[in-house]
Structure 1
Amino acid sequence: MKLKTIDARGRSCPEPVLMTKKAVALNSEGIQVLVDNTTACENIKRFGSHSGYKVEVAEKGEDFVLTLKK
């Protein structure tokens, strides 16, 4: 299954978390989120975990790729 990808690079919190929340409402099985700072990464990890998603984080250069799956 190809996951929808949300590009939240260059955005400061809480915007990446709000974008993630909106995306999982439309794609409940899971999404991928691209961010470029550790604060957004940690906040999205926390949101995903509290929302019942398994969260995987991979570093890609200076960016983070978070995969949230049910």
Structure 2
Amino acid sequence: MDKRHVDTRGLLCPEPMLMVKREIEAMDSGVIEALADNSAARENIKRLALSKGWKVEIRSQEGDYLLTLSK
């Protein structure tokens, strides 16, 4: 199973969502772990992943958000 990591901390929208979008488009299935440091990026990444048919799990991690996308 393919697993990718994307660190979007410190970036402003729409860059975090675009980074994750590139990974989603490059994969048919697998796991993407995305780190985000603001709620706007968290919500945009979540909406994108759900719209593409990916499952999303979100956890708080030391002030950041860890989004685990799987398909």
Give the alignment's TM-score, normalised by structure 1: 0.91
Structure 1 gaps, min length 5: none
Residue pairs, 1:1-70, within 5 angstroms:
1=1, 3-29=3-29, 30-70=31-71
Write the deviation string for residues 41-70 of structure 1: whole angstroms up to 9, x where unpaired. 011011011110000001001100001111
For the residue of structure 2 that corresponds to 1:28, the secondary structure is: coil
Runs of 4 or more consecutive aligned structure 1 residues displaced over 2 Å after TM superposition: none
Instruction: Tell me the number of residue pairs that the alignment of Structure 1 and Structure 2 aligns.
Output: 70
- Taking every aligned residue pair, what percent have the same amino acid on both sides? 43
Report the Cα distance in structure 1 between the residues aligned to 2:12 and 2:28, rounded to whole angstroms.
Answer: 24
Structure 2 gaps, min length 5: none
Report the Cα distance in structure 2 between the residues aligned to 1:5 and 1:28, rounded to whole angstroms.
Answer: 16
Determine if contact 1:4/1:27 at 8 Å carries over to the other structure. Answer: no
In the TM superposition, residue 25 of structure 1 has moved relative to its aligned partner by 1.7
Report the Cα distance in structure 2 between the residues aligned to 1:46 and 1:31, rounded to whole angstroms.
Answer: 15
Give the alignment's TM-score, normalised by structure 2: 0.90
Report the Cα distance in structure 2 between the residues aligned to 1:19 and 1:63, rounded to whole angstroms.
Answer: 17
